[in-house]
Amino acid sequence: MAAGVDDTAVVVVGPGRIGRQIALAFALGGRRVLLVDVKERAPEARRAVFTDARREIARDLKLMAEEGVIEDGDVAPALDRVEDRVGLDGLDTCGFVQEALPELLDLKRDVLRRLSARVDSEAIIASTSSTISPAHLADAVQRPERFLVAHWLNPAHIIPLVEVVPGQATAAAAVDRTIEVLEELGKVPVRCADSPGFIGPRMQALLMNEAVRLVEEGVATPEDVDRAFKAGMGFRYAQIGIFEFIDWGGVDVLHRASGFLAKALGDDRFRPPRLVEDKIARHELGPKTGRGFFDYAGDKREAFETAKVRALLRQLKQGRS
């Protein structure tokens, strides 16, 4: 970093909902945050945006304290670390930049082009994009080796996951530094190749559309679909990963269930993927055969199943308390 750059200072471009949440997360992590508005607005409209942003951040901090996630004494210092900024001047003292603008390609490219010319040449620039590939943004950035996507999930100050998606030109050091910064905030960064929808949005789109089909077909009401999800899959997947559960239930069980649904519903979207067919052929069915998507040799099966049952029991106990 150039002399005078504060590597602990962060720029968040975009004072909308996701930008406010990201600013809150960084501020709670002890970082000075410049919350930047780049939209052309009348003075009174701009004041209203920043007033609303500060009110929302203060509200969410208060809620976190009331629920015991943070201490009461953390609220005021975190709020004080968030500074309002207008435009892209004076940002060259910050070492990390998070763009949090709407999912509009031309808007993001324009702001990233202007932004990268004003911040320190070694500052990492991350986009929150959930749908736009880093390949469609990187060439708008000066020195694209320091650019990547860091996709926070809404509400960003609560959900631990942040998907870290490098572009073709992204330097390994930029990825490593981004992951380090996120982990310092208590986030769970997950590396992901540049693919449409990344991990979360792609899986989420399938899940949400299938839920709507259940209602559309008269299988259940929206209320009962939501109850079923929260009490079943949502409860389970809070402690057991999807691949962990495929193994635990058995790859062969998934294979049979998928084949049945594909035939019964007359829809190829339920057909098992090639990788499932490969696992069946190799008899890698999960803990019962010693290997599935993970290794269960020796005493690993017992350790895995015991750990997962304990985690679910703790979650059940917490829900009843």
Q: How confident is the model at residue 320 (pLDDT cuts 50, 70, 90)?
A: confident
Q: What is the pLDDT of residues 220-252, one digit of tens each?
A: 999 999 999 999 999 999 999 999 999 999 999
Report the pLDDT averaged over residues 185-195: 96
Q: Which residue, chain included where needed, has tokens 């070694």?
A: 122
Q: What is the pLDDT of residues 22-47, one digit of tens each?
A: 999 999 999 999 999 999 999 999 99
pLDDT of residue 1: 59
Domain boundaries 200-320, corresponding CATH code: 1.10.1040
Query: Tokens in use for 83?
Result: 């500074």
Report the residue count for the chain: 321
Do domains 6-191 and 200-320 share one topology? The answer is: no
Q: In this model, does residue 4 exceed pLDDT 70? A: no
As a whole number of angstroms, the distance between CA 134 and CA 147 comes to: 8
As a whole number of angstroms, the distance between CA 130 and CA 202 comes to: 10
As a whole number of angstroms, the distance between CA 161 and CA 2 comes to: 31
Q: In this model, does residue 156 exceed pLDDT 80? A: yes
Q: What is the pLDDT of residues 251-281, one digit of tens each?
A: 999 999 999 999 999 999 999 999 999 999 9
Report the pLDDT averaged over residues 300-305: 95
Classify 217 as helix, strand or coil. Answer: coil
As a whole number of angstroms, the distance between CA 204 and CA 47 comes to: 36
As a whole number of angstroms, the distance between CA 188 and CA 148 comes to: 17
Query: Tokens in use for 310?
Result: 């304990």
Q: In this model, does residue 215 exceed pLDDT 70? A: yes
Q: What is the pTM of this model?
A: 0.91
The domain segmentation of the chain, as residue ranges, is: 6-191, 200-320
What phi and psi values does residue 231 have, to the nearest 5 degrees? -85, -15
Domain 6-191 has CATH 3.30.1330.60: no
What is the separation of C-alpha 166 from the centre of its chain, rounded to a whole number of angstroms?
Answer: 14
Q: What phi-psi label fits residue 275: left (phi over 0), alpha (psi between -120 and 50 degrees) or beta? A: alpha
Write the DSSP assignment of 22-49 as a string of letters: HHHHHHHTT--EEEEE-S---HHHHHHH
Q: How confident is the model at residue 5 (pLDDT cuts 50, 70, 90)?
A: low
As a whole number of angstroms, the distance between CA 244 and CA 206 comes to: 20
Contact at 8 Å (CB) between 210 and 218?
no
Classify 142 as helix, strand or coil. Answer: coil
As a whole number of angstroms, the distance between CA 299 and CA 58 comes to: 49
Exposure string over 141-162, b if 16+ CB within 10 A, otherwise e: beebbbbbbbbbbeebbeeeeb
